[in-house]
Amino acid sequence: MNSSIQNQASPLSANGRFGRLSYLGWNMLLGILILIFGIILAIFAPSVSASSSNFIIFGSIILLILIYIAVFYFSFIFAIRRLHDKNQSGWLTLLMLLPLVNLFFFIYLACAKGDEGSNNYGSPRTTQTWEKILAWIYIIIFPISILLSVIIGIPAYQSYIERVQQIQIEQNINYSE
């Protein structure tokens, strides 16, 4: 294989390599696109449900399925390119399908250093400036979002449990009367 041609392959193809920052940058871009589609769908969802047209609802479901397939596809492409940077086969991306294993696999892809020189998949790819910026935003936002989820989620869950227990107590009182 000609490594200079492979090195300049489209970032959206499985050929070539992604360094850590490129991998995180492209994942952040994918996340931003998902967020934009989600906002657009949330804006139009009330009008879709108000019209109750089966054709519109069916079209919306098809659109969501297509978006999901695209996200799934590109997630695998980015992971394959990241594995190529480690001189490993893209078949390892099948680990992304295993619950819990996929979390550790993502951490591995995000943290493990790639090969410095050329390998079986070509020369290292230069990380673009915008990829670095998005990657660092991702690196900062990801732990903060997990922390906020825990800070907000645990009290909300405890409140939910208390409400459920209160309802059960009220139902038991009503049944015993």
**What residue segments make up the domains of the chain, in order of their start?**
20-145
Comparing 88 with 172, the larger pLDDT belongs to 88
For residue range 17-41, list pLDDT tens digits in order: 999 999 999 999 999 999 998 898 8
10 Å CB burial of residue 143 (0-12, 13-18, 19+) is exposed
- Mean per-residue pLDDT, 11-21: 88
Q: How far apart are alpha carbons 133 and 139 in whole angstroms?
A: 10
Specify burial of residue 122 (Cβ count, 10 A radius: 0-12, 13-18, 19+).
Answer: buried
**Span 139-161, pLDDT tens digits:** 999 999 999 999 998 998 898 99
Counting residues of the chain whose pLDDT is more than 90, the rounded percentage is 54
pLDDT at residue 3 tops 80: no
Could you tell me the pTM of the whole model?
0.77
